[in-house]
Amino acid sequence: MTSEGFAPAKINLALHLTGLRDDGYHLLDSLVVFADVGDQINAEAADGLSLTVSGPFAEGVPVDDSNLVLKAARHLRSLRGVTDGAALHLEKKLPHGGGIGGGSSDAAATIRVLARLWGVAPLTAQEALVLGADVPVCLAAPQPMFMRGIGDVLEPAEGIPEGWLVLVNPRVPVPTQAVFKLHDKLYPVANPGLEDFRFDKDIGKFEAWLLGQRNDLTKVACEEQIAPVVSDVLEALQKLTSVREMSGSGSTCWGWFRSQDASEIAAEQLAQSHPDWWVKAARISGSS
């Protein structure tokens, strides 16, 4: 018996840091969408739990219990009282350390895949939070979501239009903890949240709203001691679209386009001018 699932790239179209809790967790206000590019998870019934990895970004991905895929599997099995196992395979197509939720989306996909294989209910967002701040929102894919609190307050984002992105990763991983630590040293930890707006699937209004938002981690990621190449990526995107930003804690950045043709042309130009970068045109799902 087998089960398989898709782990889409998670894109932060806006990421505002709004505070810092006493326990060190950051409060945030973010709009998250999901792209049609991502990793693939396959599971086959087995006695124990195991993981193998392949794909263009398989190198350096652990296959022991430090991998979120196995952590998610063990957490689901424990909470649902499952005694069965699974042989899991991850096809890694997304760059790791890229700010597009690769590990978190893999964990969420694993939960969905194994819930089907084992015939149990998938984890709730609250149950999945222990696996990481981005795992609960990734369980909601492909529905666009507002993510607040420490990632535990989720709300469907209504009226988001379907669109196209060009995703660019300079193949330089960014350590999330280092970015947050440097941010707290250099910049205010309490900033305004997202601006309220009714999108009504109006592309022009949505683009105007995006231009007024920000990612509070972008400046930090561009610092010399983190990944200054992120500045080069954003500059290259700015020549092609006015709506662009970094996703998550980096280093992947995105540019917004209104059509598939426009995104694919832009992606081809970037890939030719920067052959060392990972570049993908991707469709994002609008609100259901």
Q: Torsion-angle region of residue 96: left (phi > 0), alpha (psi -120 to 50) or beta?
A: beta
Tokens standing for residue 76: 């689901």
29, 39, 106, 134: which one is catalytic?
134
Does the annotation list 96 as a binding residue?
yes
Residue 274 annotated as binding site: no
Instruction: For tokens 């941010």, name the residue.
Output: 183
Residue 204 among known ligand-binding residues = no
Q: Tell me: is residue 98 an annotated ligand-binding position.
A: yes
Among this protein's residues, is 134 annotated catalytic? yes
Q: Which residue has the tokens 């440097």?
A: 182
CA distance 200 to 287: 10
- 173 labelled binding-site residue: no
47 is catalytic: no
Q: In angstroms, rounded to a whole number, what is the distance separating the alpha carbons of residues 80 and 257?
A: 43
212: annotated binding-site residue? no
Q: Are 222 and 179 in contact (CB under 8 A)?
A: no
100 is in an annotated binding site: yes
> Which H or E element spans position 267?
helix 260-273
Query: Which is the catalytic residue, given 10, 71, 92, 280?
Result: 10
HSE of 142 in the Cβ direction (CA atoms, 13 Å)?
A: 19
97 is in an annotated binding site: yes
Closest CA to 107 of 81, 144, 152, 137: 137
Helix (H, G, I), strand (E, B) or coil at 129: helix
Q: Which residues are the active-site residues?
A: 10, 134
List, as residue ranges, the binding site for ATP. Answer: 95-105
